[in-house]
A and B are shown apart, each in its own frame.
Chain A
Amino acid sequence: MNSNWPTAELDPVRRLRVLAGGLHAVMYADAHLDLPFTEVWAVAGDLEHELPHLVPTLRAFRCYPTSEDRQLAWAYGPLGHRARFDVLLQTGWCLMQSRYVVGGMAAVSEGSGTRFAVLGGLRQPWSTPFQRALRPLGRSRGLMMVDRAARRALVRRDRGPAEAHGDR
């Protein structure tokens, strides 16, 4: 018999699922990756170097820490436009929001691997029906992002983080 009460706390992936529901986010997906948590989160948590690899519409992401787990970030698009993001980054948990957009990533150990989740959506209340209608498409986009994270983890394992940063 186990010696603890039934676990009812939300792990980071369940937590992101709740936020996706509350935000009516167009993109939410999670999947099991056959990679250790540390390798997955080494990618997800390295926003400045890795987020442009995970999000194709992002040319660069510059971070400026404001406290232990908070950052101010500037996202640069391929055409030079930019957006300011508030970022909350903790182990296994990342939440980012600009004036119009919200994004998030979460990871939790699962067996010998990791469950990794991603979220993306618009902040405007009027966008709710629109986001709901596009959710199937958002899920496939999210799974592609999860897959890109797994591939980046393998690249960093093979070539080391410093050399992997120069891919783009």
Chain B
Amino acid sequence: MNTARAGTLRQDPAPPQVAQEDPWAAAAPLVRTAQSGDAMALNDLLSLLTPYVSRLCRPIALNNSADAVQEALIAVFQGLPRLQDPRALYAWVRTITVREAVRVARRAERETPVCEFDDIAWPRSPELAVDVRDVLRRMSTEHRAVLVLRELEGLDERSASEILNISSGTMKSRLHRARHSFRKAWPR
């Protein structure tokens, strides 16, 4: 009897192949639980989202990326009850994160002279570190955001322009200038 009872009480975890194939799809039940105010589910969701949000924020917000990650995640979590379809989590988080990263970076630019970007910490390869730092610091926040969405996230122009709240024409010209700046600044 004990064995049968233990069998009925045991809760089987989600099939592992689902998590391996698409962690965002596996996050859907977690989102539903978190929307009901479950702090443990929010904590698990935070662990799932933080690496992706960090990856988006770093190249846009540079040395203010920790602030950008925090602000983006607060915005995501405060808006979570309004997310109708948990399967849209990925795109929804990306939109909020990029907007927040741009906002934090612009705010920092107003407060920090460009020369202080020398304090940024960089990757382990010294030559690459110097190159990437130099290229990024010569670009505006808007150009960095465009490159992240188009080159790192692989979005089409329309999707990227919607996230940044700009027209398709502005998106095209901004992308052209960003690519031009990058090529021009990248050491050969």
Chain A residues within 8 Å of B, Cβ to Cβ: 1-10, 14-15, 17-19, 21-24, 86, 88, 95, 97, 102, 104, 123-125
B68: chain A residues within 8 A (beta carbon): 8
Q: How many residues of B sit at the interface, in one of the four size bands?
A: 35 or more
Q: Looking at the complex, which one of B39, B76, B123 makes contact with A23 (CB distance below 8 Å)?
A: B39
Contacts of A123 in B (CB 8 A): 37-39
Q: Please determine whether A9 and B50 come into contact, CB atoms closer than 8 angstroms.
A: yes
Supply 9 A–B pairs (Cβ within 8 Å), ascending by A: A5-B58, A5-B123, A6-B122, A8-B61, A9-B50, A10-B73, A22-B76, A88-B43, A95-B39
Majority SS at the chain B contact face: helix
Cross-chain contact B66 with A7 (CB below 8 angstroms): yes
The 5 closest A-B pairs by CB, nearest first: A22-B77, A2-B121, A21-B74, A8-B65, A8-B54
> Is B77 within 8 A of A18, CB to CB?
yes
Question: Are B70 and A1 in contact (CB-based, < 8 A)?
Answer: no
List which B38-68 residues lie within 8 A (CB) of chain A: 38-40, 42-43, 46, 50, 54, 57-58, 61-63, 65-66, 68
Distance in angstroms between the alpha carbons of A17 and B77 in the assembled complex: 11
Known: A95-B43, A123-B37, A125-B81. A6 touches B74 (CB 8 A): no
Minimum CB–CB distance from A48 to chain B (whole Å) comes to 20
Q: Are B73 and A18 in contact (CB under 8 A)?
A: yes
B69 at the binding interface (Cβ < 8 Å): yes
Q: Smallest Cβ distance from B110 to chain A, in angstroms?
A: 19
Confirm or deny: B80 has a beta carbon within 8 angstroms of a beta carbon on chain A: yes
Instruction: Please indicate the chain A residues that have their CB under 8 angstroms from the CB of B61 in the complex.
Output: 8
Residues of A within 8 A of B5 (CB): none
Task: Report whether B40 and A86 are in contact in the complex, using a CB–CB cutoff of 8 Å.
Answer: yes
Q: Closest B-chain residue to A13, C-beta based?
A: B70
Given A6-B58, A8-B65, A102-B37, 5 additional A-B pairs, CB 8 A? A2-B120, A3-B123, A8-B54, A19-B43, A19-B77
Cβ contact within 8 Å between A2 and B81:
no
Partner of A10 from the list B70, B120, B124, B126 (CB cut-off 8 Å) is: B70
Q: Judging by beta carbons under 8 Å apart, are A6 and B40 in contact?
A: no
Tell me, rounded to whole Å, the shortest Cβ–Cβ distance linking B42 to chain A: 5
Contact call A8/B69, Cβ cutoff below 8 A = yes
* Cβ of A132 to closest chain B Cβ, rounded Å: 11
Residues on the A chain within 8 Å of B77, using CB? 18-19, 21-23
Residue of B nearest to A14 (CB): B70
State in angstroms the CA–CA spacing of A21 and B36 once bound together.
15
